Amino acid sequence: MIRAAVATVLLAGGTAFIVIASIGVARMPDVFQRMHAATKAGGIGSSLVVLGVLVTGVARPMTGVLTILFMLLSLSVASQLLARAAYISGAPIEGLERGDPLAGVLDRTDIQAAERDGAPEESGVPAAAPAAPDRASDLVSSMRRIGPSE
Amino acid sequence: MTMLALPVVAPVLIAVLALSLALTAWRMLRGPGYANRFVALDMLTAVVVSIAALTALATGRGAFLDVGLGVALINFASTCAFAAFLERRRGGR
């Protein structure tokens, strides 16, 4: 009986976290704040729900423990990768007060310039053909920036 | 009645999670550019893992928890792949 009570509290708490996270995903103003809501609250929420199911003892505990561990480990890594890619691809940032601290660290596409030059996936072959070696050199330079250069 | 039965609680929570599925799907349909859609996909997977776990509780079949583990594994790989795609593409909003 006490086990069912603990499970109910965990399940309800996890569901509340997930609902709040999805409200954040729907309502936050830019990509990075949406990611902030989705990763932290979403990861905690689903971990709590899986933990609540484990407490009830309906399934083998190993699968649930693995799920929780894997989600706690992988969500942070995946969201870091995604945030880095969003920054590099020029996603707009709302509400910066003292400028961009990453301005000289990662090279960032200017979204207005990219739109002025024309969207590369719509214009087809003439835009894509000269862009290919440029993209490769960009990749090399961005990989070089990851390493201990300075 | 002092205590709610868990197989009754689980479908109610799944119905609540349907709301967050709808909000996230709205962001995925609307969100400007690829980055917002990838964030919405990440969130969608967290919701799906929870729904799989709650389904295991509602039906009494523990195998649904394995579904959640599989979805979590696929989510990690797909998010890494999408991040690499977005980083090379340059110009997604």
Residues A18-41 pLDDT 10s: 999 999 999 988 888 999 988 999
Please tell me whether the overall predicted TM-score, pTM, comes out greater than 0.80 for this model.
no
Count Cβ atoms below 10 Å from residue B93 Cβ, excluding itself.
18
Q: How do residues A39-72 score in pLDDT, each as one tens digit? A: 999 999 999 999 999 998 887 888 889 999 999 9
Q: Is A132 on the interface with B (CB under 8 A)?
A: no
Tokens representing A104 are 């000289």
Mark yes or no for CB contact A91/B56 under 8 Å: no
**ipTM score over 0.85, yes or no:** yes
Q: For residue range B27-75, what is the model confidence (pLDDT) as tens digits?
A: 999 878 888 999 999 999 999 999 999 999 998 888 899 999 999 999 9
Q: B-chain residues within 8 Å CB-CB of A60? A: 62, 65
The pLDDT tens digits for A2-17 are 888 899 999 999 999 9
Cβ of residue A51 closer than 8 Å to a chain B Cβ:
no
Instruction: Check pLDDT > 80 for residue A103.
Output: no
Q: Is A5 on the interface with B (CB under 8 A)?
A: yes
Written as one string, the DSSP assignment of B5-50 is: -HHHHHHHHHHHHHHHHHHHHHHHHHSSHHHHHHHHHHHHHHHHHH
Residue of A19, A81, A138 lying closest to B83 (CB–CB):
A81
